[in-house]
Amino acid sequence: MRAGFCGFANNPDRIAQLDRAERLASSVSEITRIKQAERKSKKDAQQASLLDLAPKAVAILRSKGNDVTKITVREITSILGRYFGVAEPKGDKATSIGDVARIKIRAPCAMGASPKWLPEEFRCPLTLDVMDSPVFLCTEAGRSFERKALERWLKRHPRRDPLTNAEYAKPLAFMPNRALKEAIERWQQPLQRTRSSIVDERCELQAAQRSPSTLALASKSREDASPSRDLGTMVDKFVRGESTAVVKVLKLVATNDDNAAIILAAEGVGEALARVIASRDDTSLAAAGLVEILGARAAVGLEGLLECCVAPLVAAIEDTREPDLVGAALAALLELEPLAPLMLRLGASASLVALLKHSALETPAARLLAALAARASKSPELAVALKPLGRLVAAQSHGARRFAASALAEVVANNPAVSRAVGKIAHIFEGLDAMLRAQRDQPEDALQAARLLNSLFAGTENNMVLYVRAAGSVAGLVGVVQDADDLDAKTQAATALAHIAGSRLEFQREVAASGVVKPIGRLLRDRCGADPRAKTAAALFFVALAAGNSENQGIIATEGIVGPLVAILQQPPSEPKPIVAIALRWLIDHREARLVVAKHLGFKWVLVPPSKAAVDARIGEILPEHRPQMPKKSRDGTY
């Protein structure tokens, strides 16, 4: 054996073979270790993905009416496989996923924060998560929602309450719920709380859900919510005539919203603010800023407490030698928008017209004029502002033109007699067309331009001729219908095109050849999120396009518009339904279009297609409550 061993040791080939085997074994071991690490990493990633999906599964079960506290692990894992395509976990893995899911859905901050209870008021009814930016929906239900979730809902259903599914006549509005946001922020702080403090806070949260201002008013008596002693002292000094105290009061209000309610409830604050603003000293700017903050944070109906400040603020915007004070006064007046009639009676319109000539102040001045027009569009005091606003639109001032167009739209819509005068302002239609063509970069400008065009077109046909001649085509309006993201802008542009198509025969042909038929047809479909206003505008457009024009009737039939029109006709009574009936009655004048309408209405034939009278009778059966009169064609080709 010794000789053999020595022979083996002295064999270089055998030694090299053993070295290669050793290196190969170490390589295999390293590869195995790497593969095991990869499998473990992949397994951990799958586990993390399942843990992220588990709360969504619990949310689905909850939306079906299941009690969260009684949801089983098997139900959670079943939903994971059914809705998210995840293989159903088994054993300990399923148990851990179910436990984490229930923990997250009961207390989303329990994974990293200290609070052990989750108030129901903190959870958004749409996302089932704690709200980051709560907003108060102005409906009878009176609930708060996460801002982004509510915006997505209202984009699809602008008039429907997400909780009760109740339909409202006007689009729903919402406002920030600052009181609830502050309560959520306090709750998320890792602080130890006594049982009594939790009970008190929950009572305040229920009040905050009913009204955003309730919690602010209730916090007046809580010393830990704001430095109420310092605030009360400063307010007393300010009311007694110590004008320098307004700066300290402004700081206290700017840092705590709750203090605004306390100041508004104090006696003599409005008179003291008016006195300081009228003095035009170093503290007048701070007083105007305080009025702005108080006006923004006052609840609806409380603006009257600051009514005495309107006169000195209007007087302040007359003197342009102090641009900082003028700017602060404009911002304060904008927050006191409900007092618009008082501002106009005090001569605010003339002062604002003068400010439109100053480049640094034209935008806030035009914005305030737009707010005044929205509140008091029929006021005769606004007549002096029409031409200056029109020149602002014509000059294409990018900062102020949207507000100028908005103000003009409100005035013209409520005073059709002034539409001819506004239409004669030099280059106004060129400016409006430029706003329409810039809708990709400035979508709000395009919306306000379309609104103003609708108001001008409704007043007189001459404005339509002036617009088409000035713009050279209807491409600006067509671009808004095709590319705008805002449904309201599409609706306004479609209505303007309906006005143009119904005015003259040559305009009717131009609109039909612009390629806008199919984009406007999409407004008729429910899946595009169209509301009744959009459907009505689209139906009006097709009435104007098909009226007496056989070629356009054939285009509408071949573009797939008949199906959505008939679908609206067969729905429950609605605003666009009678207009849709008129459009269909125009379409059945064309033979091919009549066949398409008859097919969608359920007619069956073999050799002889249904007659126009038969199709018209079927439309009358579907819409017995309203049999629209067909418009008559005049000698110049209009209807």
Q: What's the pLDDT score for residue 452?
A: 92
Tell me the residue length of the chain: 639
pLDDT in tens, 596-608: 888 888 888 756 7
Listed residue (622, 551, 631, 624) closest to 583, CA to CA: 631
pTM exceeding 0.75: no
What string of DSSP letters covers 493-545?
HHHHHHHHHTT-HHHHHHHHTTT-HHHHHGGG-GGGT--HHHHHHHHHHHHHH
Q: What's the pLDDT score for residue 106?
A: 40
Distance CA 549, CA 274 (A): 64
167-176, 439-448, 564-573, range with greatest mean pLDDT: 439-448
CA angle 122, 127, 131 (to 5 degrees): 35
Any bridge partners for residue 136, and if so which? 144, 175
Mean pLDDT score across all residues of the chain: 75
pLDDT in tens, 90-122: 554 444 444 444 444 443 333 333 334 567 778
Q: What's the pLDDT score for residue 453?
A: 92
- Kindly tell me the sign of the dihedral angle through the C-alpha atoms of 601, 605, 609, 615: negative
The residue with greater pLDDT, 463 or 8, is: 463
Up-side HSE of residue 68: CA atoms within 13 Å toward CB?
Answer: 20
Q: What's the pLDDT score for residue 612?
A: 83
Distance CA 134, CA 446 (A): 30
Q: Is 138 left (phi over 0), alpha (psi -120 to 50) or beta?
A: beta
Per DSSP, the three-state class of 144 is strand
Distance CA 178, CA 133 (A): 9
Any bridge partners for residue 167, and if so which? 160
Instruction: For residue 402, give Cα distances in angstroms to 78, 326, 336, 435, 443.
Output: 53, 21, 21, 8, 10
| 145 CB burial (10 A radius; 0-12, 13-18, 19+) | buried
pLDDT in tens, 151-166: 888 888 888 888 888 8
Q: Could you tell me how far CA 544 lies from the centroid of its own chain?
A: 31
Contact 77, 89 (CB under 8 A): yes
Instruction: For residue 274, give Cα distances in angstroms to 51, 116, 186, 268.
Output: 59, 49, 36, 10
Distance CA 330, CA 368 (A): 7
* Residue 527 pLDDT greater than 60, yes or no: no
Q: What secondary structure letter does DSSP report for 140? A: S
pLDDT in tens, 491-501: 999 999 999 98
Instruction: For residue 470, give Cα distances in angstroms to 37, 377, 435, 467, 474.
Output: 71, 27, 14, 5, 10
Least confident of 110-119, 261-270, 532-541, 575-584: 110-119
Q: Which two tokens stand for residue 65?
A: 């009416």
What string of DSSP letters covers 293-315?
HHHHHSPTT-GGGGGGGHHHHHH
pLDDT category of residue 198 using cuts at 50, 70 and 90: very low
Average pLDDT over residues 308-332: 87
Q: What secondary structure letter does DSSP report for 177? A: -
Q: Which two tokens stand for residue 636?
A: 């110049």
Distance CA 462, CA 291 (A): 45
Percent of the chain whose predicted confidence (pLDDT) is above 90: 2
Contact 311, 270 (CB under 8 A): no
In 3-state terms the chain splits into helix, strand, coil percentages (rounded to 5) of 70, 0, 30
Q: What's the pLDDT score for residue 186?
A: 77
Q: Could you tell me how far CA 132 lies from the centroid of its own chain?
A: 18
Distance CA 75, CA 78 (A): 5
